[in-house]
Amino acid sequence: MGDTLGSAASRRYLGMVGVVGLVVVLVLLLGVSLFSHEGWTLQDGLLQIPRKESPGWYRDFGGRSIPQIQDQDVFYSNLGGSVDAARNADIVFLGPSFVSYALDRQTLEESQALNRLKIYNMAFVGIRGGEFSRRVIERWRIRPRLWVINADDQFVHFFSNDLNVTLGPQKQPIAAVQRNRLRGYLTVIGRNLHWRIEDLIAAYQNGYFTPTGLYRSISDGDMGLDANPGFVAQGNKPMLSARDPDCHTNPAVVDYARSFLAEIGGQVVLTLVPHSQSCMQQAAELAKALNVELIAPPFDGLTTIDGGGHLDRYGAQKFTSYLAREIVKTSAYKQAFPVGLTEAR
């Protein structure tokens, strides 16, 4: 009996310590936020570090010493408004960081056919496989009329059950899928606290505040790549293919893709963002096996930020212009948006 009472008392004590610890962390976070150069409100102080003068953006990729990313927890635990924005979209793009760099929002908005539609970029930096996207889609019932999926196969195919993230030299399992919503919430506010403290220490050491990190839009999923000097630079190298074109899909990819498309529903168009190791042949074979359309812009005139991996702004504008022209010609688009539907929006 005494042991039972002692155990109960211990649990109560540990529970109180946990609650007090959480309150201390929250108070510390709010205090650090008040001194932040990024701006602060009660709404964004816990879940986001807003971009300067732009509360519709949150710091997604940060860490002055160790790179970290927020959007895995933001999407998997449905924190803030990102998942709701994706659920309200007419068209959702899926893929790795190649897609983040390839979609130019201004070009999309200048398209007379697409500018009436809500288009969400749900690409994930550092994640090559589509299993994480599949779990987010299923968990939060994201159901646009049209999906545009980058059928890339570098390292692992998008249509695979790979659940790893690669940031810098490190490849590791996606930890967000192991967390419940409370743990996801605490992880996000803890990461923001860490980043804010790093910012304050750096500002104290340097005597001035230096912005850091990349930000992601809540409303459309875009990454704020303008902060990357290489992305906006002039005279970047042309994108050239360095891969043997004799590359093929395989039954495992086709089987996973069939299951993936059946689960997410809606109309689907495949695309392939050009990079030095992208393979047109496997994407074409996959599209044929799935009986879906493929839009694969040519390399001609595309320029790259890093010598063959990601497009720069000029390359993104050229890619998006081609994609916008071709996507409205597909039967998938026409079925998703019958004549008169887009005009009524």
Instruction: Determine contact, residues 120/86, Cβ cutoff 8 Å.
Output: yes
How many angstroms separate the CA atoms of 95 and 124, rounded?
7
Q: How confident is the model at residue 17 (pLDDT cuts 50, 70, 90)?
A: low
The arithmetic mean of pLDDT across residues 39-54, rounded, is 65
Distance CA 276, CA 145 (A): 31
Q: pLDDT tens, 191-204? A: 999 999 999 998 88
Higher per-residue pLDDT: 16 or 132: 132
Residue 170's pLDDT band (cuts 50, 70, 90): confident
Q: Is the pLDDT of residue 40 over 50?
A: no
Residue 71 has what pLDDT?
97
Number of Cβ within 10 Å of residue 167's Cβ equals: 16
74 and 82 Cβ atoms separated by less than 8 Å: yes
What pLDDT score was predicted for residue 20? 53
Share of the chain above pLDDT 90, in %: 69
Q: According to DSSP H, which parts of the chain are helical?
A: 2-34, 44-47, 71-76, 82-87, 97-102, 105-110, 131-140, 181-206, 229-232, 251-264, 280-290, 313-327, 331-336, 341-344
pLDDT in tens, 265-293: 999 999 999 999 999 999 999 999 999 99
**Structure confidence at residue 19 as a pLDDT band (50, 70, 90):** low
**Around 47, how many Cα atoms within 13 Å sit in the side-chain half-sphere?**
23
For residue 339, the model assigns a pLDDT of 78
Mean pLDDT to the nearest integer, 29-43: 45
The count of other CB atoms within 10 Å of the CB of residue 205 is: 8
- 185 Cβ partners below 8 Å, 6+ apart? 47, 77, 79
Domain range summary for the chain, segments of one domain joined by +: 50-336
Instruction: Please answer whether residues 81 and 52 qualify as being in contact, where contact means their C-beta atoms are separated by less than 8 angstroms.
Output: no
pLDDT of residue 243: 93
Segment 151-178 shows an average pLDDT of: 93
What is the spatial distance between Cα 315 and Cα 333, in angstroms, rounded to a whole number?
24
